[in-house]
């Protein structure tokens, strides 16, 4: 007949301590992992968009008050000269993607597809377009106007 040996109180205390320690570490890692996922959800890491300069026009092509249409390989662009300040807008209508046209007599961009109307600043005025024309950053250097296009859109 075997004799059952009971662990001493000191040994039981040590085992309980180790079990609690392992459980505590597990709970801490689990909760920490959940918090980390939660913060990644709230503050996702977004890769910055790399922009590439694409030569669009010469500054001499766009006198003050003019709107110059350029068909780039990456898409149609309107470059405007408003009081000596150059601005670029995507000429793609925000409704369904038609190409808007500049109407100097009305001082408006009008989309021929469903008669969407935009102001000179590119803000939608009337018709179906849901939002303003896309604004594009530009750089002017050595008499040339460069439109900043996301690198993934640039044709090589
Ligand atoms: Fe321009 Fe519809 S596509 S208004």
Strand order in the sheet with 51-58: 51-58, 144-150, 138-141
Instruction: Report domain extents, the chain.
Output: 1-46, 51-153
pTM of the model: 0.69
Domain 51-153: which CATH number of 2.102.10.10, 3.40.50.10860, 3.40.30.10, 2.130.10.10: 2.102.10.10
Q: Is 113's C-beta closer than 6 angstroms to any atom of ligand 1?
A: yes
**Rounded CA separation 68/102 (Å):** 9
Tell me how many degrees the CA angle 85-91-96 measures, rounded to the nearest 5: 150
pLDDT per residue of the chain (156 residues) written in tens, 0 to 9: 566 778 788 888 899 999 999 999 999 999 999 999 999 999 988 888 889 999 999 999 999 999 999 999 889 999 999 888 999 999 999 999 999 999 999 999 999 999 999 999 999 999 999 999 999 999 999 999 999 998 877 766
Pick the closest to residue 68 from 36, 114, 112, 109 (CA basis): 109
What ligand 1 atom has the least distance to the C-alpha of 93?
A: 1
Task: Calculate how far, in angstroms, residue 69's C-alpha sits from the geometric centre of ligand 1.
Answer: 18
From 89, 91, 93, 117, mutation site for ligand 1 pocket: most ligand atoms within 8 A of C-beta: 93
Q: Is 99's C-beta closer than 6 angstroms to any atom of ligand 1?
A: no
């Amino acid at each position: 007949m075997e004799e059952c040996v009971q662990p001493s109180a000191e040994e039981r205390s040590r085992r309980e301590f180790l079990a609690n320690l392992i459980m505590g570490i597990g709970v801490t890692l689990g909760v920490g992992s959940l918090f980390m996922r939660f913060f990644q959800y709230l503050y996702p890491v977004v890769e910055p968009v790399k922009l590439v300069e694409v030569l669009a026009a010469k500054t001499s092509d766009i006198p003050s008050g003019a709107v110059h249409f350029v068909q780039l390989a990456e898409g149609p662009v309107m470059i405007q000269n408003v009081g000596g300040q150059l601005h670029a807008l995507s000429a793609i209508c925000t409704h369904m993607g038609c190409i808007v046209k500049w109407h100097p007599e009305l001082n408006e961009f009008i989309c021929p597809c469903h008669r969407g109307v935009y102001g000179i600043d590119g803000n939608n005025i009337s018709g179906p377009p849901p939002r303003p024309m896309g604004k594009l950053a530009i750089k002017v250097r050595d008499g040339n106007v460069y439109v900043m296009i996301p690198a993934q859109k640039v044709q090589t």
